[in-house]
Homo-oligomer: A and B are copies of this chain.
Amino acid sequence: MTIASSFIRLCRQIVGDANVIADPALLRVYECDALAAYTQLPDLVVLPDSVEQIPALLRLCHTHQIPVVARGAGTGLSGGALPVPGGIVLGLAKLNRILDIDPINRTATVQAGVRNLAISEAARPHGLYYAPDPSSQIACSIGGNIAENAGGVHCLKYGLTVHNVLQIKLATITGELLTLGGSGLDGAGYDLLALAIGSEGLLGVVVEATLRLLPTPPRVQVLLAAFATIEQAGAAVADIIGAGLIPAGLELMDNAAIRATEAFVHAGYPVEAAAILLCELDGQPEQVDADLARAEALLRAAGASELRVAADAAQRQRFWAGRKAAFPAVGRIASDYYCMDGTIPRRHLAAVLAEIAALAERYGLSVVNVFHAGDGNLHPLILYDAGRPGDFDKAEALGGDILELCVRVGGTITGEHGVGHEKLPQMCVQFQAAELEQFHALKQAFDPNGLLNPGKAVPTLHRCAELGKMHVHGGRLPHPELERF
């Protein structure tokens, strides 16, 4: 299936020749997102450079029944921006204007292609910042963040993207531009804003967003706690949250992650520890000081073998440098790794990590753990060798097992990366048929011909039946603890 040259000509009329890519050598750049294990050469890439072009392009695609895959910076980790044969990739990178920073309302209004970090940089002169901070924040764009409901280290305290977006402009497949959300806490009508956030490009294309900015906290402290067992570290996380503390970040790294990181960036981590926790506290000075004392006491009581408070900003940055470099550090010890993303109730942390290790051993693969422990968002990194035939298939199968384990203990198959192409089989485990049917009905209400990012995020019931996954388990809240796993 190729795209007719007449259609390409119409695209050129809308966005200009320079903004259409049809040359296979140049198209190669767009064959995958950051989940590079899945590739598909696109037929055509269109790169609008004004918001007005997008409804026109979508209307054109609707008229010609051409599928559309929206793409931000291509940093997604679930294959959400994987091209579709016979479709176009709608790249939003050129929509990179910051339209307004409003210090009184504490809002930023930006185009979809603006990079996450650029928003905080623009807000900094006003003492403000944009809270959600995915690891890719230097590169990833707000449009992609919204499509995937991105998180980050600080979402434990400040929420995911959905909690920090006030309004979006969403272009529909028929070329309408909807304004969703507003400045108030509540709004009239159905909550289409929340619905659109995390909808992975299946309902419309985000072209502009108004975001909530927060005041830069006047004091920040970081604690590093080392533990002799991973169970202790997991229990300490539950203790901290159970005590009513809400750290700005609460990250766990296991021994393999500590060693890989230390060898790479020399952050000063204790390499003998089974696990470390990094606990960041921020806010007003009085509150941070009080919280720090409580956190220290809790971590000590939980059996921390070592406890360090960053003495100054430099040491704080050094503590975080290790965590932030953990993924590339793991990249140095394995030829390839596959980063999973699932969420579990915190109290199951230790048991799930043990079960993941057992699963990995069964597959003959290694797993490194470095993740957002405070909100139970796991990121097991499965090490494999793409050059060894069958190795990725094993990694993929192990990843699937890990996600299904998350569902079994009452969790979900995504914490912040989305479902994309990657997690379709596990959607059949997470949801019952009636829920999947409702998803499809809802999709119909936005995109009856299924042109927007087809084949992603929500599997057909037929596909679930083929996979034999349907109804394996419906276990989620309210009583996951009653279920054996």
Shortest CB–CB separation between residue A236 and chain B, in angstroms?
15
Contact (Cβ within 8 A) B194 A191: yes
A392-420 toward B: CB 8 Å interface, digit per residue (1/0)? Answer: 00000000000000000011111110110
Number of interface residues of A (CB under 8 A): 94
Interface 1/0s, chain A 149-179, versus B by CB < 8 A?
1010001000110100011000010001111
Most chain-B CB neighbours within 10 Å: which of A159, A286, A426, A427?
A: A286
Q: Does A389 reach chain B (CB closer than 8 Å)?
A: no
Q: Are the CB atoms of A183 and B446 closer together than 8 Å?
A: no
B480 & A183 in contact (Cβ 8 Å cutoff): yes
Q: How far is the CB of A453 from chain B (nearest CB, A)?
A: 13
- Expressed in whole angstroms, the minimum distance between the Cβ of A74 and any Cβ of chain B is 21
CB neighbours (8 Å) of A423 from chain B are: 188
Q: Which A434-454 residues sit within 8 Å CB-CB of chain B? A: 434-436, 438-439, 441-446
Which of B105, B344, B414 lies in contact with A188, CB distance below 8 A? B414
Tell me the bound Cα distance from A434 to B192 in angstroms.
13
Give A170 to B347 CA distance when docked, in angstroms.
27
Q: Are B160 and A185 in contact (CB under 8 A)?
A: yes
Nearest Cβ on chain B to A179's Cβ, whole angstroms: 7
Note all chain B residues with C-beta closer than 8 A to A262. Answer: none
Least CB distance from A159 to B in Å reads 7
Residues from chain B with Cβ under 8 Å of A194 in the complex: 162, 191, 194-195
Chain B residues lying within 8 Å of A167, measured Cβ to Cβ, are 476-478
Contact of A186 among B195, B203, B414, B445 (CB under 8 A): B414
Is the beta-carbon distance between B186 and A343 smaller than 8 angstroms? yes
Q: Are B179 and A191 in contact (CB under 8 A)?
A: no
Report B-chain residues with C-beta under 8 Å of the C-beta of A441. Answer: 445-446
Closest to A159 in B: B185
With A104-B238, A190-B458, A285-B290 already in contact, 10 other A-B pairs whose C-beta atoms are closer than 8 Å: A107-B478, A149-B186, A151-B186, A182-B477, A183-B412, A188-B412, A188-B418, A190-B199, A190-B443, A191-B197
Residue pairs across A and B with Cβ atoms less than 8 A apart, 20 shown, are A105-B345, A107-B477, A151-B186, A178-B435, A178-B438, A179-B476, A180-B435, A182-B476, A183-B343, A184-B412, A185-B377, A188-B419, A188-B430, A188-B431, A191-B199, A215-B244, A286-B289, A438-B445, A442-B442, A442-B445
Which residues in A have some Cβ–Cβ distance to B below 8 Å? 99-100, 102, 104-105, 107, 109, 149, 151, 155, 159-160, 162, 166-167, 172, 176-192, 194-195, 197-199, 202-203, 210, 215, 238, 242, 244, 283-287, 289-291, 343-345, 347, 375-377, 410-416, 418-419, 423, 426-427, 430-432, 434-436, 438-439, 441-446, 457-458, 474, 476-480
